Structure 1
Amino acid sequence: MNFKASLLLPLFFLLAVKANAQQPNNISQLAQTEQWQALLHINTQTEGSDIESYVDDASFFLANDGATNPINELLATISALKNQSETQCKFPARTLFLLENIQGLAQEVKPFVCQEYLDWRKKLNTTSVVLVFASAQLNSPSSMYGHTFFRFDPENVEQNSTYLSYALNFGATVPAGDGGFLYAARGLTGGYPGKFAANPYFEKIKEYNRLENRDLWEYKLNLKPDEIDAMLAHIWELQGISFEYYFFDENCSFRLLELLDVARPGLYLANNFPVTAMPLDTVRVVQEADLIADTHYRPSILTELKAQLAMLSDDENALALALSKDIELLNKDEFISLTIKQQQLIVDSAYRYLRYQNTFNGRAKATTRRSFLLLRRLSENPSKLTITIEQPVRPDLGHKTSMLGVSFGQNLDQGFVEFKYRGSYHDLLDPIGGYYQGMSLNMVNVMIRAYQGGKVKLEKAELLDIVSLSARNNYFSPWSWKANISVEQQWTVDKEVLVTQGSGGGGVSYQVIDNTHVFGFVTGRLEFNRKLNSFAAVAPGVHVGLLHYWPKSTLMIEAEHYQFLFDQSQRSRFSLQHSMQLSNKDSLRISADFHRVEGKDHARNSFQEFKVEYRHYF
C-alpha cells in the first residue's frame, strides 16, 4: 500500500467532484447509514428512543446527546470540521466518510495536515490485518475461554518477521490489588473500563506463547487497502476512549467485531452476540463472513518442548532429565557411548527444558550455569534439529459452544425425558476436535426433567462447572483442580431435595498412555439442605476417575464419595459415560450412574440411573 494514499489533503480535491447520485439524499439518511452508525459504535439492534452507543466516554462525542442521537452527532461533526480544522486530526475516519458523502463539503473545510496521525500510519505501514486467537489456558479461569486481538503487518512481513508487526488489544483496565472475587464480580457487572492498547507483536508472543504457554492461531483477513485505511483511521479515533467492559459480552472479541464492521460496513458481525461473545465463537463468525484468507499455527514453547521430548526414547528421556540436574553426566559412559546425533538431541532437550524452567522459576544461578554449559556443548557440534509438531484441529473447526440436549432415561424405576441447555462451552466428553484434552468449562447449564405421570422438576441449574486435568510427568508437575456452583436435586433421607451447593477440590492427573488420563481429587462441598441436621452442611470427599479419548468418542469412568460432618450422612456415586460424535454439530451420550446414600440413622438407599442423550451444538 502506498502510504501517500492515506494523506487527507489530496482527498479534498478528489472528493469534491464526486457525483451527487452516489450520496445519500439528506443528512438524516446519512446518519442512518451502516458506516456512520459503525463509526459511532451504535447498537444497531436498537432503534428510536432506545438508540445508544456502546462508547462510555463523553470525549468521543461532539454533540451533547451524540451517544443517543447519530443525526446531531453528524451535524456537530460537520460544524466542527468547518470551524475547527484540527477536528480532522481527532476524527480522521469521520472526516474521510463525510468528505466522501457530502457534496461540496471539501470546499468548505480548510485542509489541515495531521502530522502525528501520518507518522503513526507510517510507523505501522500496514498492508494486511491478522486476527489472532490465543488458545485456552487450562490452569487460569480467566483465560479458559481464550482471547482475540488484531495484528497489523507491514508489506515485507513474509520476508522478515511478524515480530516487527504491531498488535491491537482490547481489555479491562484493572487497578492494582483487584483480584479474586472482586475481580470476577466487577468484570461480570461492567465495573471496569475497557480500552484499546497497541504493542509490538513480539510482546504478545512473549505474554501468551511463552509466559502463559498458549498456542496462537493467526487468521489473515482478506481486507482491501481502503478497508484497512478505514479501520486504522477509526482506531486512531479510539485512543484513550473508554468502553464498559464485561467478561461475557462487551469484551475483547466483541470490540474487534465492531472494528470489522467499520472496515466493511454491512457485516453486522457484533449483532451475532446479543447475550455472550465467546472469543472462539467470534472467530467462527469471521470465518462464516468469508473474511479469512489464510491461517497459521504458532505453537507455544511448552507445545514445542513436549513435541521434542516425545521424540526421545524412554532411556533418552531419563538421560535428558538427569542431565538437566547434573551436568557431569556429559562425561559418563552411559552418555558418551551414544551416537553424536543422540547426544545432541538429549543435550538440546535438557537445554530447552532448563530454559523453560527459567521462564517461570526465575534465573537460579545453578540452573543458569547448567544451561550455559549445555549451550556451549551444542555449539561444539552444531546440527540442525527438526522438531515435528503435528498441527491440531483448528479451534474454530471444533463444535460450537452453546448446546441443546434431550435425554431419555430411567431413575428409581421411573422413566423420564430431560431437556438441557448450556450457554457455553465444553465438557470432558464433548467432541474433542479443536479443544484441549482434560478441560471442562461450563457456564449456565440448566436441566429440566419430566417424569412419567406428568411430574416436572428442575433437575439441575449450574452457574459454573470447571475441571482442569493437567497431566503430570517427570518433567512437569502441574496441579489439577475442579469447581462447581449449582442448584441440584439430591437424594436426602427418603426423598429428593433441591439443594444449593458449592464444591471444589485439587489433585493430580497422569497421562498413563496416549490419550488416557487417570485423575484423583481431594474435594470439599458446602451444601444448603433443609433435610440435614445442619442447614449449611460441610462434607470432605474424594473423586477419582479415568478418561480416554478416541478420535470420535470419549469414555469416562469415575467414582465420588462425600462424608458429611456433624450429620453422619454420606453419599457415594459410581458413573460410566460414553460419548460418540455424530457430526461437528451433534453427539450421542450414554451414561449409567449408581448412587448409594446413607442417612444419619444409618438407613441406606441405593438406586441406579440410565440415560441416553442427544446433543446439538450451535
Structure 2
Amino acid sequence: MNLKASLLSFSLIFLMAIQANAQQPENFTQLAQTEQWRALLHINTQKQGSEIESYVDDASFFLAPDGAVNPESELLATISALKEQADTQCKFPARTLFLLENITTLSKDVKPFYCQEYRDWRNKLNTSRVVLVFASAQLNSPSSMYGHTFLRFDPESVEQDSTYLSYALNFGATVPDGDAGFLYAARGLTGGYPGNFAANPYFEKIKEYNRLENRDLWEYKLNLKQDEIDAMLAHIWELQGIDFEYYFFDENCSFRLLELLDVARPGLYLANNFPVTAMPLDTVRVVQDAELIADTHYRPSILTELKVQLAMLTDDENILALALSKDIKVLKKPEFISLPIKQQQIIVDSAYRYLRYQNTFNGRPKETTRRSYLLLRRLSENPSKLSIPIEQPQRPDLGHKTAMLGFSLGQNLDKSFVEVKYRGSYHDLLDPIAGYYQGMSLNMVNVMLRAYEGGDIKLEKAELLDIVSLSTRDSYFSPWSWKANISLEQQWTLDKEVLVTQGSGGGGVSYELLDNTHIFAFATGRLEFNRKLDSFAAVAPGAQVGLLHYWPKSTLLVEAEHYQFLFDQTQRSRVSFQQSIPLGDNDSLRLSADFHRVEGKEQQPVNSFQEFKLEYRHYF
C-alpha cells in the first residue's frame, strides 16, 4: 500500500490512461457532462443549462474564469494546464486521473511529475478502509441537535480497538470567536459561514464526541474498493483549503460526505437525494440503501458506559460508590469490607469513573485528582481488569425516518374535523422510540391544516421550532431539562379562536421514577402576540408538569400546564393525554384527549372545551 500511494501521482495515472473505453478529444462536450466530471466539480448532476453552478465557493478551485458554471470550460482549462504546467497534476490528482482514463491521446502531452507533498500525505494516511461515523444528537448544542457525520480513514491491518491511530475527515463551518445565540443560528441558516474539510487524528474526535460532549459514536464500515478509496483521497487533496458555503440544513457536513462518496463510486447519485435538507441520520440511511455499509460498530460515550455500570449496582451499593467518590475512607467501612470482592471492585471502579467524568468538566481540582489516583491504585490490586458488557442499542439509522405526514379525525366543541400535518424533521416524545433517545424531542417546520364540517378550513399551527430535552436527574447527575417553541397557532379566547404568534419555553427537572417512566416539571414563560388580549404583545409566566412512560409497543404522555398573563386577567389551563402505538418502523397511530379552560376578568364566562383526535402518521 505504501508503494502504491507513493507512486500514485507518478506512474499509476499513466497506467490507467489506456482504458479501453477512453473518450476521444472530439467528445469533450460529452465528457464534461458525465456524472464523474460533475462530481469532481461539485455540480449537481440534475441541474441543466443556466441552473448549473458548483457548490464550491472558492475561485482558486477553478482554472477557467467561468469554471463554476461551465463544466466544459473547466475541463478544457484543466487539459490545457496539464499540458503546459506539469505540477497541475499535484494540485488536481483526481482530475488528472479522470482525464487520462478518458482521453487516450492526453498521456502523450502530459509529462509525469513527482508530487512530494501529495505522496507524503498519502503515505501518512496509508488508507485501506473508509468508515462513515455518526455522532449521536446533542440537544444542548445548536450545531449538534441533529447529530453529525464524518469519515474515518483506517490504515492497513488496523483492528477495531486500535483505530485511535486512524484519521478523521470532517466538514464544518468556520465560526468566528464570539458568534453565538441568534447570530450563530441566523448565519448558519443563511450560509453566512464558510465551510472547509479538515483531517485530524481519530483519537481527537473520540475525545471531542465520546468524552467531552457525551455522544455515542456509530461506525459504519464501507465496502469501498481500493481504487475507489484512491479516487476519493485524490479528490480530498484537491479540496484542502477550499471554501464552501455552509448551511445547517442542506449544504452541511453530511451532504459534503455524500459528494465524496459520489466521487469514489460514480453512479450512486447520493447527494441528489437531498435537494432541500440533509439530516445527518437520513444521509446514513441513503448510504445503507446504496448497499455501501459492510459492518457496524458501536462506541458508547464515557457517560453511557458509566450509567450502564451504575445500573448494575444495588441502591445500597450506589450509596457506597457515591460516598467513596467523596471520601476514600469508605474503603475501610464495615459495610464495604463485608461485600464480595467482585462487588467491591465494581464499586471502586464506579467511583473512579465518576470522579474522572467529573474532572473532565471541573478543571481537575487537586483533592479530587488525589482521590482519583488512590482509587486507581486500589483498582490495580485486583487480579483481573473489570469488564462491563454494554448491550448495543438499535442502530439510529434503523429507526423511523425523520419527515412525517399525518392524517387525523377529531372533534372540537362538538364539531368534527379532519386534519393534515406535515413535519420536516425530526422526532417527538411519542414517535417510535427505537433508534432514538428517551426524553428527546426536536421538531422543525411542523404545519397543520384543519377542515371542519361545513367547509371551514384553518391553519391550525405552523411551528418553526419545538424542542424538549428531558435530562434525567439522580444522585450522581443533576442536569437541567428545558424546552422551547416558536409558532403560529390557533388559540382560544373567551369567545372565539384566533391565530396568534408566540414564543415559549422554560427550564426544569426530570426524574426517572421506574424503568422507562419519567416525570418532569418546568417553570415556563410565553410571549404572545394576540389582538384579543388587553395587550397585543402579552407576557405570561406559567408552569408545566408531566409524565412520560415507554412500553415496548406503546408510549404514554400526560401533561398539565397553566399560564397567567401579566397586565391581563386571562388564564389558560390545559390537561392532555396522548397515547402512541407503532404500526411498524415508519407508521404509527396516536390517540389524544385535550381538556382546555380559559378564564377572563371577573363576571366573564369561563370557556371550557375538549378536543379528541385519532391520528395516523407515516414517516418518510
TM-score above 0.5: yes
Instruction: Report SS of the residue matched to 1:8.
Output: helix
Q: Deviations over 1:84-143 (max 9, x none)?
A: 111000000000110111112111011100010011000000001000000011333331
Other-structure match for 2:110: 109
Other-structure match for 1:448: 449
Indicate if the aligned counterparts of 2:192 and 2:245 stay in contact, CA closer than 8 A: yes
Indicate if the aligned counterparts of 2:22 and 2:103 stay in contact, CA closer than 8 A: no
Listed as ranges, the gaps of 5+ residues in structure 1 are: none
Q: Deviations over 1:157-184 (max 9, x none)?
A: 1176100100000000000010011000
Indicate if the aligned counterparts of 1:493 and 1:531 stay in contact, CA closer than 8 A: no
Instruction: Give 1:611 shift.
Output: 0.2
Q: Which amino acid aligns with 2:303?
A: L
Q: Does 1:218 align with 2:222?
A: no
Other-structure match for 1:485: 486
Other-structure match for 2:156: 155
Instruction: Give 1:552 shift.
Output: 2.0
Instruction: Report SS of the residue matched to 1:255.
Output: helix
Other-structure match for 2:546: 545
Other-structure match for 1:37: 38
Indicate if the aligned counterparts of 2:150 and 2:169 stay in contact, CA closer than 8 A: yes
Indicate if the aligned counterparts of 2:22 and 2:101 stay in contact, CA closer than 8 A: no
Q: Which amino acid aligns with 2:232?
A: M
Other-structure match for 1:500: 501
Provide the rounded CA distance (Å) in 2 between the counterparts of 1:24 and 1:135: 48
Other-structure match for 2:572: 571
Listed as ranges, the gaps of 5+ residues in structure 2 are: none
Indicate if the aligned counterparts of 1:12 and 1:107 stay in contact, CA closer than 8 A: no
Q: Which amino acid aligns with 2:270?
A: L
Provide the rounded CA distance (Å) in 1 between the counterparts of 2:169 and 2:583: 39
**Superposition map of 1:106-505 within 5 A:** 106-158=107-159, 161-505=162-506
Q: Deviations over 1:405-425 (max 9, x none)?
A: 000000000000000000000
Q: Which amino acid aligns with 1:609?
A: E
Indicate if the aligned counterparts of 2:321 and 2:351 stay in contact, CA closer than 8 A: yes
Q: Which amino acid aligns with 1:605?
A: N
Instruction: Give 1:25 shift.
Output: 5.8
Provide the rounded CA distance (Å) in 2 between the counterparts of 1:21 and 1:570: 76
Against the structure 1 CA distance between its residues 492 and 120, is the aligned structure 2 distance closer, same or farther, given a 3 Å change threshold?
same
Indicate if the aligned counterparts of 2:13 and 2:96 stay in contact, CA closer than 8 A: no
Q: Could you tell me the percent identity over the aligned residues?
A: 84
Instruction: Report SS of the residue matched to 1:161.
Output: helix
Deviates more, 1:412-421 or 1:6-15: 6-15
Against the structure 1 CA distance between its residues 225 and 25, is the aligned structure 2 distance closer, same or farther, given a 3 Å change threshold?
farther
Instruction: Give 1:378 shift.
Output: 1.1
Aligned length: 618
Other-structure match for 2:4: 4
Against the structure 1 CA distance between its residues 17 and 369, is the aligned structure 2 distance closer, same or farther, given a 3 Å change threshold?
closer
Instruction: Give 1:310 shift.
Output: 0.8
Indicate if the aligned counterparts of 1:3 and 1:125 stay in contact, CA closer than 8 A: no
Other-structure match for 2:589: 588
Residue number among 588, 601, 605 corresponding to 2:607 in the alignment: 605
Indicate if the aligned counterparts of 1:481 and 1:507 stay in contact, CA closer than 8 A: yes
Instruction: Give 1:20 shift.
Output: 5.8
Indicate if the aligned counterparts of 1:129 and 1:150 stay in contact, CA closer than 8 A: yes
Q: Which amino acid aligns with 1:227?
A: E
Indicate if the aligned counterparts of 2:557 and 2:577 stay in contact, CA closer than 8 A: yes
Against the structure 1 CA distance between its residues 23 and 322, is the aligned structure 2 distance closer, same or farther, given a 3 Å change threshold?
farther
Compute the TM-score of the two structures, normalised by the length of structure 2.
0.98
Provide the rounded CA distance (Å) in 2 between the counterparts of 1:348 and 1:125: 38
Against the structure 1 CA distance between its residues 483 and 205, is the aligned structure 2 distance closer, same or farther, given a 3 Å change threshold?
same
Q: Which amino acid aligns with 1:81?
A: L
Q: Which amino acid aligns with 1:341?
A: K
Instruction: Report SS of the residue matched to 2:580.
Output: strand
Other-structure match for 1:510: 511
Indicate if the aligned counterparts of 2:419 and 2:449 stay in contact, CA closer than 8 A: yes
**Superposition map of 1:8-87 within 5 A:** 8-11=9-12, 13-19=14-20, 26-87=27-88
Provide the rounded CA distance (Å) in 2 between the counterparts of 1:264 and 1:18: 17
Against the structure 1 CA distance between its residues 230 and 598, is the aligned structure 2 distance closer, same or farther, given a 3 Å change threshold?
same
Provide the rounded CA distance (Å) in 1 between the counterparts of 2:19 and 2:492: 76
Q: Which amino acid aligns with 2:568?
A: D
Provide the rounded CA distance (Å) in 2 between the counterparts of 1:603 and 1:298: 59
Indicate if the aligned counterparts of 2:588 and 2:618 stay in contact, CA closer than 8 A: yes
Provide the rounded CA distance (Å) in 2 between the counterparts of 1:280 and 1:13: 40
Provide the rounded CA distance (Å) in 1 between the counterparts of 2:24 and 2:512: 64
Provide the rounded CA distance (Å) in 1 between the counterparts of 2:13 and 2:489: 66
Q: Deviations over 1:224-244 (max 9, x none)?
A: 111000000000000000000
Deviates more, 1:102-111 or 1:20-29: 20-29
Q: Which amino acid aligns with 1:79?
A: S
Provide the rounded CA distance (Å) in 1 between the counterparts of 2:143 and 2:305: 24
CA root-mean-square deviation: 1.2
Q: Which amino acid aligns with 1:295?
A: T
Provide the rounded CA distance (Å) in 2 between the counterparts of 1:23 and 1:425: 49
Instruction: Give 1:11 shift.
Output: 3.5
Instruction: Report SS of the residue matched to 2:261.
Output: helix
